[in-house]
Amino acid sequence: MKINLISDTVTKPTSGMFDAMMKAEVGDDMYREDPTTIALEEKIADMFGMEAAMFFPSGTMANQTAIKLHTNPGDQLICDKDGHIFHYESGGVSFNSGVSCRMVDGNRGVISAEQVEEVINDPNSFHSPYTSLVSLENTSNKGGGTCYDFEEILKIKAVCDRHNLKLHLDGARLWNAMVAKNETPQQYGEVFDSISVCLSKGLGCPVGSVLMGTKEFINRAFRVRKLLGGAMRQIGYVTAAGIYALDNHIERLADDHQRAQEISTLLQSFPYVKSVTPVETNIVIFELDKQVISHLDYIELLQEKGISISTMGPKLRIVTHLDYTAKMHQYFLETVKNLDISVSV
């Protein structure tokens, strides 16, 4: 049995999703003539109660577009020190927008309103970058799938309003957060100036993210998407997968969360596991006692059993997902229980 727990991006379309893709009505998206893509964009905008939405080939491009539209060269944005926009978007903040990041030392990827307030630069100072944007990530990838408390988001929004800052949400795994916290898309749409959500993480689509905002914002985003190389044609074949996923794959995320929690509980029972980050959604991050076994040796042991996981520096990451079945889960738990760690001591 082969089990890939490297990420929730490794999934393949289900038979129902593939059928929807093959039956999609398509047109040229650059002429805004792809009916399936327009239907997806309108569906997501309506879900969040926002004016408009646009499909992007990646979450990175969606985030980078939002940052470019909310800032000017030389500005500074505020984000957590582990934020995806800083660590995993190839330096796009500086390359695409000429903007610097003011990192905040949050709690497992989650920052507070008080922390935001403390690092806003004096707008009258000519010595510091002009602070123009706050970007949150929910759930936090490097934080281990952690979720924001919505009341704290409201407090951060109040800080942004007082200081005339824009508020962007990198919601790549926002679906997981909403299921875990029993929240609604409308709650988020009422607070953020822009939101990006991913369709290929958690929801099982082969590709794509969607950026939301005002009609004026999304109209400007169309030009930036083109500038960044995001012009697309008959993309209804992939946006049909997004419509299917929204209708069929959101509630089942609770299964991924439950399996991640069971994995976490098991790992905590082993003396060679040094720590396990608290699990809230579908990501398990843990650290081994390197005096007993290295993280690379542990990965090799699992690979011999047909199981793939990933590293985050010296720590290890497991991500549950749509293609990780109940049968695979039981195999994984039994395999980990029976690992002969002594062979690597």
- CATH number where 57 lies: 3.40.640.10
160 and 240 together in one domain: yes
Q: Residue 148: is its pLDDT beyond 50?
A: yes
Neighbours of 326 (CB within 10 A): 9
Rg (alpha carbons) of the chain, rounded to whole number: 21
Q: Report pLDDT for 345.
A: 41
255 and 177 together in one domain: no
Burial of 138 (0-12, 13-18, 19+ CB in 10 A): buried
Q: Which two tokens stand for residue 98?
A: 């000429």
212 and 307 together in one domain: no
This prediction's pTM:
0.96
345 in any annotated domain? no
314 and 196 together in one domain: no
Q: Which residues pair with 312 in a beta bridge?
A: 315
Report the CATH number at residue 297.
3.90.1150.10
Alpha helices, H only, 88-214: 92-97, 113-119, 150-163, 174-181, 185-189
186 and 56 together in one domain: yes
142 in any annotated domain? yes
Q: Report pLDDT for 322.
A: 98
Look at the chain and report how many structural domains it folds into: 2
What does the pLDDT look like over 69-83, one tens digit per residue? Answer: 999 999 999 999 999
φ, ψ dihedrals at 261, nearest 5°? -65, -40
What does the pLDDT look like over 16-71, one tens digit per residue? Answer: 999 999 999 999 999 999 999 999 999 999 999 999 999 999 999 999 999 999 99
342 in any annotated domain? no
Q: Report pLDDT for 260.
A: 98
- Choose one of 212, 247, 282: the last residue of a domain: 247
The confidence band for 324, taking pLDDT boundaries of 50, 70 and 90, is very high
Q: Residue 343: is its pLDDT beyond 80?
A: no
| Nearest alpha-carbon partner for 134 in 163, 165, 106 | 165
341 in any annotated domain? no
Q: Report pLDDT for 50.
A: 98
Q: What is the mean pLDDT of residues 281-285?
A: 98
Cα-based distances in Å from 227 to 189, 208, 220, 246? 26, 18, 11, 29
Residues 6+ apart with CB under 8 A from 91: none
272 and 126 together in one domain: no
303 in any annotated domain? yes
214 and 281 together in one domain: no
260 and 295 together in one domain: yes
Domain of 117, in residue numbers: 15-247
| Nearest alpha-carbon partner for 29 in 41, 43, 18 | 41
User: Pairing relation of β-strands 76-80 and 315-319?
Assistant: unpaired
59 in any annotated domain? yes
214 and 265 together in one domain: no
214 and 232 together in one domain: yes
Q: What is the mean pLDDT of residues 178-182?
A: 98
225 and 325 together in one domain: no
- Choose one of 218, 247, 276: the last residue of a domain: 247
- Choose one of 219, 247, 275: the last residue of a domain: 247
Q: Report pLDDT for 272.
A: 96
For helices 215-227 and 59-70, the axis angle rounded to 10 degrees is: 120
211 in any annotated domain? yes
**Degrees to nearest 5, angle at CA 135 with 130 and 138:** 170
Q: Report pLDDT for 344.
A: 42
114 in any annotated domain? yes
Q: Residue 341: is its pLDDT beyond 90?
A: no
The confidence band for 292, taking pLDDT boundaries of 50, 70 and 90, is very high
| Nearest alpha-carbon partner for 187 in 158, 214, 218, 150 | 150
151 and 19 together in one domain: yes
The confidence band for 340, taking pLDDT boundaries of 50, 70 and 90, is confident
Q: Which two tokens stand for residue 214?
A: 């005002």
Q: Report pLDDT for 228.
A: 96
What does the pLDDT look like over 115-136, one tens digit per residue? Answer: 999 999 999 999 999 999 999 9
| Nearest alpha-carbon partner for 117 in 154, 162, 87 | 162
